[in-house]
Chain A
Amino acid sequence: MLRTHAPPSQDLFDVAIIGAGVVGCAVARRFALAGARVVLIEKGSDILSGASKANSAILHTGFDAPPGSLELDLIKAGRAEYLDIRAGLNLPLVTTGALVCAWNEMEAGKLEAIAAQGRANGITALKLMTGAQARTTMPGLSERLVAAIEVEDEHVIDPWTAPLAYLTQAVALGARFLRQAELVEGRFAGEWTLSTSTGDVRALSVVNAAGLFGDVVDRRLGFAPEFEIRPRKGQFVVLDKAAFAHVPRIVLPVPTEITKGVVVCPTAFGNVLVGPTAEEQDDRVRATVETETLEALLERGAQIVPALRAMPVTAVYAGLRPASESKAYRIFTRPEQRAITLGGIRSTGLSAALGLAQHALSLHRAFDAPPLVPVEPPPVALPNLAETRERDWQTPDHGEIVCHCEMVTRREIEAALASDVPPGDFGGLKRRTRAGMGRCQGFYCNARLAQMTKGRLATALAVGDGEGS
């Protein structure tokens, strides 16, 4: 009963996008707005089945991005567009600001250079502070703080509703979303024939946004591999909502060569997260959590904000960054075959997605393809899940509250199930509604959710007659 759309074999699309991560969703929207007939091909049972389901949810300024890099330009462009469109799409912005914290003299010695790079990157709202000054803006920080840089414009967003909004807008313009459709092979002969696990799709151009499988998909499209994905895992702990009061700002460490380091960060949903780690691995799918690492993160979090020591853990998770052998984004265009690869979008893709989409469209202009005629953006407003704004439970006639920890209403769950891009698995339902995401992790509501989602998810919560589709 899961709604998968049979591929329309006779249709010829202007653009086929491989991968419904945050980048693919943003690209689908951008091309749909440009007037293209778009198809988005995803092998998972829902959007955000890869890297994009687990990140720190920071909308970066680019203050610490490599100077002069394409990544920096695209972060800035993506961020600017997000700020521009977010109100219309009803997407939140938690204006936290960030503190880059130096915990010893050696780290403090690096702050000047970080600030200088930030200014060179065009981010002017940067301020060097003593530890004491920084603590007046966030009293929960440990007294051991030596010095900090305040980056006023680093903010937090809802990392799941944003890409869903991008795709929902594209779908409103007629874009097709094919799920459980793995690209197996692509052949170019004047136009693309893309063989997927659920049938063939024809398109004039193709955009590879396959994230952790970007190199694999390039090969399947018949290109000699220009890069190699080397997954880098990041584990997180999410702390109870009571922690939120102690962490009003994003607390960043002084970065090292390989990672931005462990962040203590409020979420749009009123929690606090501590993470991520940076662990190289070969596996592109499994993102396991490990007891010792989680314990170390909890310890690190409590060193940074001592009040976190007593906080119960709400959730633990891990994500995989689609890193490659280079720090740079791996973007390739092949005008002859009308193909674009947006690969290696390692650790800033949430911020840069809309910028990457603009960039892909501009690369596409050089292709030998019929000109596109832009259309008016259709009005699309997503349900708000951020604690910083009014939630559904605060308004009348929501039916009842189903998930008590996250205050998720029956109306919200039913609306998600009936939406234009409905959840395909339980993770997708959680990301769309927050049901089951709270401190009890389903002790009170999981059975009810099993009943409400019977026959609608790829892996059913209940076994037996509720199973499968």
Chain B
Amino acid sequence: MSATADVIIVGGGPAGVAAAMELRRRGAGKVVLLEREPELGGATRHCSHSPFGMREFGRVYFGAAYGRRLAREAADAGVDIRTGHSVARFHGGGRLEVASAHGVETLTARRVMIATGARERPRSDRLISGDRPIGIVTTGTLQSYVAFHGLMPFRRPVIVGSELVSLSAILTCLTHGARPLALLESEPHMLAPAPFAWFPRMAGVPVHLGTRILDIRGTGRVEAIRFRRQDGVEETIPCDGVLLTGRFTPEAALFRQSEIGVDSASAGPAIDQDGRTLDPLCFASGNLLRAVETGGWAYREGRAVARALALDLAHEPVPSAPTAVTFEAPVKLVVPSLLRRQGSGEPAFRDFQLRFTHRVHGRLSLEIDGREVWAQTRTFFPERRVLVPIPEGASAAGSVRFRFREPG
């Protein structure tokens, strides 16, 4: 069977587009980029206020303009761009079932890269109590209302969560005639780092830390949110919307429904130091690997994995047996979580990326074949990236393990 392309990339966000261009630059041959939306750009398309592109293009772009710049660059690089193409199933082994307005087709490639990004968790997945009225949305949804349709889902929302994206949410509200009534965070501290963490209060939005949402009320539209404050007092805020921010999760349905599956820690596909998944013909990059990073990070990651993929195209696929990187709580995830002896030789990942489940102080160490090769003692915060260099020769090790010890 002759393949449709040398490489098919799924997802036209920063990671997928960067990968496509890099592959073309490295002479990968026929590179097809599949994107289900009508335009490239991914999640950056609706971030109307935040700057993108400084590192990639040496100038600042806002939202959709960044997507258009990506599209132009990719077309110039000779990428076969197919928007309005949704991958319905990934069969592994380089085979994809693709739906478009023309119907369904099966496409094949020598290698596949999946870069389908991440999204915020909906109310259902957070198991929040209460009614199920209209007006409970995520930041991504709010920004799509504003950026694509000039609409607003509410006027007086309560904001849930304090990751960086919550600040983006507040800004979108304030610039579009909505007045956030409060910000609720379940952790005892803001998740966004200072100085960003000061922003809500500066914008006049009361912040309640260490809260627990008791329920959301409303029969048609949202009418109120009830929560328990850190001091135990219950409070009800009448509002017309609830904005659920952050708690990102990889958009990994294609993996969940395939033989490859997902890594239980990251909820994205497990990858090795080249971005290769358990299926040696399939690579992955960008926010799909772990939620969540910035647009610029996703872009660079896409390009780095594409470099390794280009090298991989030159020889037979590597055998599949990798070594798994192990760790335990409070480490939430490690990317890459696999190491393969037969890598590309020029790994896409020079560092392990770690995340913690909650704020802890202690000593994080890395052991290779039982020998400690790296350690650091400090405070670690949830939803913040921790980088640990992948030691020379780690890919040949029999065991790679992260340990964490609290002092005392």
The answer to whether B128 touches A291 (Cβ under 8 A) is yes
B153-185: contact bitstring with A at CB < 8 Å (1 yes, 0 no)?
Answer: 111000000000000000000000000000000
Min CB gap A183→B, angstroms: 20
Interchain CB contact (< 8 A) of A459 among B103, B134, B152, B253 = B134
Residues of chain A lying within 8 A (CB to CB) of residue B36: 401, 404
The answer to whether A407 touches B153 (Cβ under 8 A) is no
Residues of chain A lying within 8 A (CB to CB) of residue B128: 291
The answer to whether A288 touches B148 (Cβ under 8 A) is no
Minimum CB distance partner of A396 in chain B: B103
- Whether A313 contacts B127 in the complex (CB less than 8 A), given A396-B103, A440-B119, comes out as yes
Could you jot down 5 A-B contacts, CB within 8 Å?
A241-B253, A310-B264, A405-B253, A446-B145, A459-B134
Residues of chain B lying within 8 A (CB to CB) of residue A443: 119-120, 122, 138, 140-141
Interchain CB contact (< 8 A) of A396 among B101, B137, B145, B221 = B101
Residues of chain A lying within 8 A (CB to CB) of residue B137: 442, 446
Residues of chain B lying within 8 A (CB to CB) of residue A286: 131, 219
B: residues with CB less than 8 A from A are 36, 38, 84, 86, 88, 99, 101-104, 119-120, 122-125, 127-132, 134, 137-138, 140-141, 144-145, 148-149, 151-155, 215, 219-221, 240, 249, 251, 253, 256-257, 264, 267
The answer to whether A395 touches B103 (Cβ under 8 A) is yes
Q: Within 8 Å of chain B (Cβ to Cβ): is A389?
A: no
Residues of chain A lying within 8 A (CB to CB) of residue B38: 400
Cα distance A460–B102 in the bound complex, in angstroms? 32
Interchain CB contact (< 8 A) of A458 among B102, B125, B220 = B220
Min CB gap A70→B, angstroms: 34
The answer to whether B99 touches A399 (Cβ under 8 A) is no
The answer to whether A426 touches B102 (Cβ under 8 A) is no
Cα distance A426–B137 in the bound complex, in angstroms? 14
The 3 lowest CB-CB distance pairs between A and B, nearest first, are: A441-B122, A447-B144, A462-B151
- Whether A451 contacts B253 in the complex (CB less than 8 A), given A291-B128, A401-B36, A440-B122, comes out as no
A389-421: contact bitstring with B at CB < 8 Å (1 yes, 0 no)?
Answer: 000011111111100110100000000000000
Residues of chain B lying within 8 A (CB to CB) of residue A466: 151
The answer to whether A394 touches B103 (Cβ under 8 A) is yes
Cα distance A394–B89 in the bound complex, in angstroms? 12
Cα distance A464–B151 in the bound complex, in angstroms? 8
Minimum CB distance partner of A446 in chain B: B141
Q: Which of A415-441 contact B (CB under 8 A)?
A: 426, 439-441
Residues of chain A lying within 8 A (CB to CB) of residue B138: 443
Size class of the A contact interface (CB-based, 8 Å): 35 or more
- Whether A462 contacts B129 in the complex (CB less than 8 A), given A288-B215, A394-B104, A447-B151, comes out as no
Cα distance A289–B129 in the bound complex, in angstroms? 5
- Whether A446 contacts B144 in the complex (CB less than 8 A), given A316-B124, A394-B103, A463-B152, comes out as yes
The answer to whether A398 touches B122 (Cβ under 8 A) is no
Interchain CB contact (< 8 A) of A313 among B124, B148, B253 = B124
The answer to whether B86 touches A401 (Cβ under 8 A) is yes
Min CB gap A155→B, angstroms: 24
Min CB gap B217→A, angstroms: 8
Min CB gap A416→B, angstroms: 18
Cα distance A355–B245 in the bound complex, in angstroms? 48
Cα distance A464–B149 in the bound complex, in angstroms? 13
The answer to whether A447 touches B145 (Cβ under 8 A) is yes
The answer to whether B155 touches A463 (Cβ under 8 A) is yes
Cα distance A291–B128 in the bound complex, in angstroms? 6
Q: Within 8 Å of chain B (Cβ to Cβ): is A143?
A: no
Q: Within 8 Å of chain B (Cβ to Cβ): is A251?
A: no
Q: Within 8 Å of chain B (Cβ to Cβ): is A223?
A: no
Interchain CB contact (< 8 A) of B101 among A399, A404, A407, A441 = A399
- Whether A407 contacts B215 in the complex (CB less than 8 A), given A288-B130, A312-B125, A448-B148, comes out as no
Cα distance A238–B221 in the bound complex, in angstroms? 23
Min CB gap A349→B, angstroms: 22
The answer to whether A426 touches B119 (Cβ under 8 A) is no
Cα distance A285–B217 in the bound complex, in angstroms? 13
Min CB gap A268→B, angstroms: 17
Minimum CB distance partner of A405 in chain B: B253
Minimum CB distance partner of A442 in chain B: B141
Min CB gap A33→B, angstroms: 35
Min CB gap B253→A, angstroms: 7
Residues of chain A lying within 8 A (CB to CB) of residue B149: 447-448, 450-451, 462
Residues of chain A lying within 8 A (CB to CB) of residue B251: 440
The answer to whether B219 touches A285 (Cβ under 8 A) is yes
Residues of chain B lying within 8 A (CB to CB) of residue A241: 253, 256-257
Min CB gap A408→B, angstroms: 11
Residues of chain B lying within 8 A (CB to CB) of residue A294: 127
- Whether A400 contacts B151 in the complex (CB less than 8 A), given A241-B257, A313-B124, A407-B86, comes out as no
Residues of chain B lying within 8 A (CB to CB) of residue A407: 86, 88, 99
Max chain B C-beta neighbours (<10 A), residue from A312, A393, A446, A447: A447
The answer to whether A459 touches B220 (Cβ under 8 A) is yes
The answer to whether A441 touches B155 (Cβ under 8 A) is no
- Whether A450 contacts B145 in the complex (CB less than 8 A), given A312-B125, A401-B86, A458-B220, comes out as yes
Minimum CB distance partner of B257 in chain A: A242
The answer to whether B220 touches A450 (Cβ under 8 A) is no
Q: Within 8 Å of chain B (Cβ to Cβ): is A226?
A: no
The answer to whether B103 touches A462 (Cβ under 8 A) is no
Min CB gap B287→A, angstroms: 13
Interchain CB contact (< 8 A) of A398 among B101, B134, B253 = B101
Q: Within 8 Å of chain B (Cβ to Cβ): is A317?
A: yes
The answer to whether B127 touches A291 (Cβ under 8 A) is yes
Min CB gap A140→B, angstroms: 15
Cα distance A314–B249 in the bound complex, in angstroms? 13
Cα distance A460–B145 in the bound complex, in angstroms? 13
Given A241-B253, A447-B149, 15 other A-B residues pairs in contact with their CB atoms under 8 A: A289-B130, A312-B267, A313-B127, A314-B124, A316-B127, A393-B86, A393-B99, A397-B102, A401-B99, A441-B123, A442-B141, A447-B151, A450-B153, A458-B220, A462-B151
Minimum CB distance partner of B104 in chain A: A394
The answer to whether B101 touches A400 (Cβ under 8 A) is yes
Minimum CB distance partner of A409 in chain B: B101
The answer to whether A426 touches B253 (Cβ under 8 A) is no
Q: Within 8 Å of chain B (Cβ to Cβ): is A112?
A: no
The answer to whether A291 touches B129 (Cβ under 8 A) is yes
A12-38: contact bitstring with B at CB < 8 Å (1 yes, 0 no)?
Answer: 000000000000000000000000000
Minimum CB distance partner of A410 in chain B: B101
Q: Within 8 Å of chain B (Cβ to Cβ): is A315?
A: yes
